[in-house]
Amino acid sequence: MKQSEINAFNILNNVKVTNLDSVLETINANFNKGLIDELTAEQAFGQIEILEKAMGHKYFKREGSPGNYKYYYTEAEYNKAKGKKSEENKENRPTETIEKDGKRYKLQPNGKYLEVSEQGMTKKDSEKELERIRFNDSEGHSSMSEQAGMGKLHANIRKLSDKEFTKEELTKESHKKESSSFNWDSGDAKILARFGITKDNLVVKDNLDLFGSPITSLPENLKVGGNLDLYGSSITSLPKGLEVGGHLSLSETPITSLPEGLKVGGNLYLSKTSITSLTRDDFMEIGGKIFINK
């Protein structure tokens, strides 16, 4: 057994356990005095769950780092310390989360809704958490799990929007019947029909070759498994929900902008178009490279 493990074991067993605080204070004091290192302190804290089960005592939330941990034993205690209102009468509160277009929005203290990640974090929350981990890391207090989670935080900051919405704005949109601006009686529809694309079939398993085509628009939620070649076509805009498994070529077209949520598994070609700047942070998912006029 390593010396650090023996020390951690001794700390927990030499303390007269009358309550959880006596253990916490002892570990913190030893760490602050330099009697134990961070690894030993972490191992000692790791044993607290065993003590809690034996004592029948469980804390609500823990904050801080080794040598400076703060425990809140009840939700009421935590809310009081943070200046939050009581959690009573939850039934009378507005809906806390709303799902819309595959995204999740959470109610904020000001009554507005912000987009949140799978972990329930807003863009601002993610920025603050990333800053906290970086600070702890500079002080030598960040854990491996925190460092491993930095990638998700970076992704949240890139993808999440900080635009606020009212409940009415979100629910009104979500209850609308989906309607497509694509005209299924147009010449564009006739061109797509040659490839088996109809109102009832919006999936193309292989490549969709529209090179030099006079087509100007595509239907919403079109899915192309392979490449979508629109090089030199008359396309002026792309629809919402477009997904391309391979490359997407829009070079030498009159295209002026790209839709939010565009997904391209391969490269995106935009040479000789009016689009002169674009990044992967523009609410799009581009798996390959972006070729664009500079």
Same domain for 51 and 150: no
60: in domain: yes
**120 within domain boundaries:** yes
Note down the domain range covering 122: 94-174
Residue 113 CB partners (closer than 8 Å, separation 6+): 98, 105, 106, 107, 164, 165, 166, 167, 170
Q: Are residues 199 and 264 in the same domain?
A: yes
Whether the pLDDT of residue 244 is over 70: the answer is: yes
Domain boundary among 145, 174, 203: 174
User: If pLDDT is split at 50, 70 and 90, which confidence band does 187 have?
Assistant: very high
Q: Which two tokens stand for residue 126?
A: 């993610």
Best-predicted range by mean pLDDT (94-108, 118-132, 141-155)? 118-132
Q: How do residues 126-161 score in pLDDT, each as one tens digit?
A: 888 888 888 877 877 767 667 667 777 877 788 888
**Same domain, yes or no, for 75 and 9?**
yes
Last residue of a domain, one of 80, 104, 125: 80
Reading the block at residue 201, the tokens are 């079939």
Q: Is residue 85 part of a domain?
A: no
- Considering the domain architecture, whether residues 251 and 191 belong to the same structural domain is answered as yes
Whether residue 196 sits in one domain with residue 169: no
| Of 234 and 82, more confident | 234
Residue 61: pLDDT band by 50, 70, 90 thresholds? confident
**Quick one: the chain helix, strand, coil %, rounded to 5?**
35, 15, 50
In the listed set 129, 145, 174, which residue is the last one of a domain according to the structure? Answer: 174
Dihedral angle sign, alpha carbons of residues 160, 163, 166, 172: negative
What pTM, to 2 d.p., does this model score? 0.42
Give the pLDDT of residue 47: 66
Let me know whether 186 and 292 are in one domain.
Answer: yes
Q: Are residues 205 and 167 in the same domain?
A: no
Query: Taking every pair of C-alpha atoms in the chain, what is the biggest distance, in angstroms?
Result: 84
Q: How far apart are the C-alpha atoms of 61 and 106, rounded to whole Å?
A: 21
**Higher per-residue confidence, 259 vs 144:** 259
State the pLDDT at residue 31: 78
**Both tokens of residue 56?**
């029948």
Position 179 pLDDT exceeds 70? no
Which has more pLDDT, 140 or 207? 207
Q: How many CA atoms lie less than 13 Å away from 256 in the CB half-sphere?
A: 2
Query: What is the reported pLDDT for 285?
Result: 87
Task: Tell me the mean pLDDT in the region 218-229.
Answer: 95
Count structural domains, the chain. Answer: 3
User: Are residues 144 and 216 both part of a single domain?
Assistant: no
Q: Above 70 in pLDDT, residue 93?
A: no
Question: Are residue 170 and residue 189 in the same domain, yes or no?
Answer: no
How large a percentage of the chain has pLDDT more than 70?
A: 73
What residues contact residue 218 under an 8 Å CB cut-off, 6+ apart? 182, 188, 192, 235, 238, 239, 242
User: Is the same domain home to 139 and 220?
Assistant: no
86 falls within a domain: no
Round to whole Å and give the CA distance between 257 and 109: 35
Q: Which of 188, 135, 127 is nearest to 152 (CA)?
A: 127
Do residues 169 and 211 share a domain? no
Same domain, 8 and 116: no
